[in-house]
Structure 1
Amino acid sequence: MKTRKLYLGPLTDNRRWDMVAIRPDDVFVVTPPKSGTTWMQTIVALLLSGDPEVETDLAMKMPWVDFRMREMSDVAERIEAMQHRRSLKSHTPMDGLPLDDNAQYICVFRHPLDVHFSFRQHVRNIPLAWFDAWYPEDDPDRIAIRRFLDGGAEGFDADNTPLAHILRHYKAAVALADRPNVSLFHYADMVRDLPSTVARLSTLLGTSYSESVIEQLVSAATFANMKNKADRYVPAGGKGFFKSDTDFFHSGTRGKWHGQLTDAELATYDAIMCAELPSDQREWLEHGSGDMSD
């Protein structure tokens, strides 16, 4: 990728990647927010360590590089000092990231409407007013869904995770999916068959463990275990960044948007999806590789 798009918002600055010297064995976890980021990061941490009790400490050990609330010189220094195999998090689409021929890029997606409703829950769990204009707690005018549907893919809008930004993420990943080091995963497939997800990722990362160890790693990566041990698995867990660490893992379900939208809102969503994606790509973005019933 010769040139990178600029993604600059209140929370995001992808120019920060210019201060990171990529290593050939680095693992990037690249996702729209609330698409399975923390879940995938945890699986990566488990596979790189081989330890079901590993202290993931994602915010420090697998940092969100784009997040401009931390001084980048400090983040870059910490990343450079890491002696273990590194994994780095990004909410920037692939067309805004440095693309190395050897590093692994793990892109995770989820039904866009599930992302939206999960993000609504997420912002209510943050003790700050960052997102109140887009996601008012009392929303009789249905501002949140309107801005999800009409928001832009870049700038201020992008940090609020509108549909356009999710589609930008997906299209940028699909455009690079023929590369052997760019892989697409889907949240629904992770829910349906977590062992297969772990096995596929293990192959990509080149890790190898006994069957019994893999079973322990899969058990550690289940939603129930992560929710029960939220202070361990939540980014910055136990530090008061969220009102409730447990609520960070709110439900882990799919189809939470059913019955929540009007016919007109669903029609608008459908029209955008039909205009932006061919039918096979839309089906995968919404449902993954398995059952299309949700």
Structure 2
Amino acid sequence: MPPRKLYLGPLTDNRRWDMVKIRPDDVFVVSPPKCGTTWMQTIIALLFTGDPEVETELSVKMPWVDFRLREMPEVAARLEAMEHRRSLKSHTPMDGLPLDDHAQYICVFRHPLDAHFSYRKHLRNLPMPFFGLWYPEDDTEGTTFRRFLDGGPEGFDGDAMALAHIIRHYQAAVALAERPNVALFHYADMTRDLAGTFATLAEMLGITHSAPVMERLVQTARFDNMKAHAARFAPSGGKGFMKSDAEFFHSGTSGKWKGRLSDAELAAYDAMMDAHLTPEQRTWLEYGSSGPA
């Protein structure tokens, strides 16, 4: 196995994983931002407990380990003290994570343009002004999309979520997809068949619940319910970290980028995607297993 790549940005420091003792039943949720990370974490929390009323408290119970703005000794101690089955979140590509032969790695992806436009809105909802140069509020010159295309996969560019970073995430996951403990999920598939997503995950994680319980869990994880109870389901919800917990769950829809990019911008995006991915890989990354509707 090659050595782990270094991912070090304003938000991410994947060296922090050196302080985590991985357990064989750990479940990693690995994805670029705004691709369904919180949704997948919530599904796993519901499956772990079988309780549709569970207080997920994702930031505490299923922490984002890479997030360098929290003291790592405290995060590591909290994880070590957990007596229940653990789930851990990462926005680091798989080639920067410690790989265990028994822990499960759940990789979640979304159409890169949907993720990009969702991230634009997400940053407006956070107290992180240092992204202003990449995501200017009054972007009359197309700066944001130009940097999305020009940025690299690591460092500041990675945390600003350049297209190269999304592609790196996907390629690193695909390279490991033949391992029995690595699985790729797509936001579009989760949207089309949430009950099927629950069933697939339950089988992967060795979890069994009765049909009535599973139906209640599925209903709890539907977008409208999560948005209606945003303080409960948003990361750090109810603590005032975000300007609006409800805005974290803005719409949950896809394709909002349509009509907002010029022909030249779309052509540049197409060229980059085609340069790095096969046609089959590109179709899956953009649309999931069912392809474009």
Q: Would you say same fold, with TM above 0.5?
A: yes
The residue that corresponds to 1:151 in the other structure is 151
- Paired with 1:12 and 1:130, the residues of 2 have a C-alpha distance of 14
- Paired with 1:166 and 1:257, the residues of 2 have a C-alpha distance of 17
The residue that corresponds to 1:96 in the other structure is 96
- 1:19 and 2:3 matched: no
Amino acid across the alignment from 2:63 = P
The residue that corresponds to 2:49 in the other structure is 49
- Paired with 1:252 and 1:97, the residues of 2 have a C-alpha distance of 28
Compute the displacement of 1:127 (Å).
2.8
The C-alpha deviation readout for 1:9-28, integer Å capped at 9, x for no partner, is: 11110000000000000000
Is the Cα–Cα contact under 8 Å of residues 283 and 291 in structure 2 kept in the other structure?
no
Compute the displacement of 1:130 (Å).
2.7
Amino acid across the alignment from 1:36 = G
Compute the displacement of 1:275 (Å).
0.6
The C-alpha deviation readout for 1:94-117, integer Å capped at 9, x for no partner, is: 000000000000000000000000
Instruction: Report the number of matched residues.
Output: 293
The residue that corresponds to 1:34 in the other structure is 34
The residue that corresponds to 1:134 in the other structure is 134
The residue that corresponds to 2:274 in the other structure is 274
| RMSD (Å), alpha carbons | 0.6
Unmatched 5+ stretches in structure 1: none
The C-alpha deviation readout for 1:194-225, integer Å capped at 9, x for no partner, is: 00011001111110000000000000000001
- Paired with 2:47 and 2:130, the residues of 1 have a C-alpha distance of 34
Moved over 3 A (4+): none
The C-alpha deviation readout for 1:211-246, integer Å capped at 9, x for no partner, is: 000000000000001000000000100111110000
The residue that corresponds to 1:72 in the other structure is 72
Q: Secondary structure at the match of 2:243?
A: coil
Compute the displacement of 1:256 (Å).
1.0
Is the Cα–Cα contact under 8 Å of residues 106 and 182 in structure 2 kept in the other structure?
yes
Compute the displacement of 1:131 (Å).
1.3
The residue that corresponds to 1:113 in the other structure is 113
Compute the displacement of 1:290 (Å).
1.2
Q: Secondary structure at the match of 1:130?
A: helix
Q: With structure 1 as the length reference, what TM-score do the two structures score?
A: 0.99
- 1:190 and 2:178 matched: no
The C-alpha deviation readout for 1:142-179, integer Å capped at 9, x for no partner, is: 11000001100001110000100000000000000000
Q: With structure 2 as the length reference, what TM-score do the two structures score?
A: 0.99
- Paired with 1:291 and 1:65, the residues of 2 have a C-alpha distance of 33
Compute the displacement of 1:291 (Å).
4.2
- Paired with 2:144 and 2:49, the residues of 1 have a C-alpha distance of 40
The residue that corresponds to 1:179 in the other structure is 179
- Paired with 2:128 and 2:66, the residues of 1 have a C-alpha distance of 19
- 1:168 and 2:178 matched: no
The residue that corresponds to 1:58 in the other structure is 58
- Paired with 2:149 and 2:2, the residues of 1 have a C-alpha distance of 31
Unmatched 5+ stretches in structure 2: none
* Percentage of pairs with the same residue: 70
